[in-house]
């Protein structure tokens, strides 16, 4: 079964991003928004900003690590800026 690496965005209490991985992105979004995840509970509601489908868990983990790195975080901010230039 394919895995997803995903980036969530919250704008209600300042701009926040959360990076994770899962087999089911929509289920994870529901969990984040229901307060089941301690690290994201305070910044609800979350929306899916970006996700990518990869072949396996190992690749999803590598991509998650990239998006959490300094370079990945900068790229997230650039993507956000490009979408919200209006």
Q: What is the pLDDT of residue 86?
A: 60
Residue 40, pLDDT > 80, answer yes
Residue 16: which H helix or E strand, with range? strand 16-22
pLDDT in tens, 9-18: 999 989 999 9
pLDDT in tens, 57-74: 999 999 999 999 999 999
pTM (predicted TM-score): 0.94
Residue 28 neighbours by CB distance under 10 Å: 23
With tokens 């975080």, the residue in question is 73
> Taking the domains of the chain in order of start, what are their residue ranges?
3-83
Tell whether domain 3-83 is in CATH 2.60.40: no
Q: C-alpha angle 38/63/10, rounded to 5°?
A: 40
Q: What is the pLDDT of residue 85?
A: 84
Q: What is the pLDDT of residue 1?
A: 84
């Amino acid at each position: 079964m394919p895995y997803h690496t995903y980036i969530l965005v919250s704008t209600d209490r300042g701009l926040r991003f959360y990076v994770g991985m899962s087999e089911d992105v929509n289920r994870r979004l529901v969990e984040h928004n229901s307060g089941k995840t301690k690290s994201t509970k305070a910044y609800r509601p979350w929306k899916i900003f970006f996700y990518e489908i990869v072949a396996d868990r190992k690749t999803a983990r590598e991509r998650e690590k990239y998006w959490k790195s300094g370079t990945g975080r900068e790229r997230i901010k650039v993507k956000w800026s490009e979408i919200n230039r209006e």
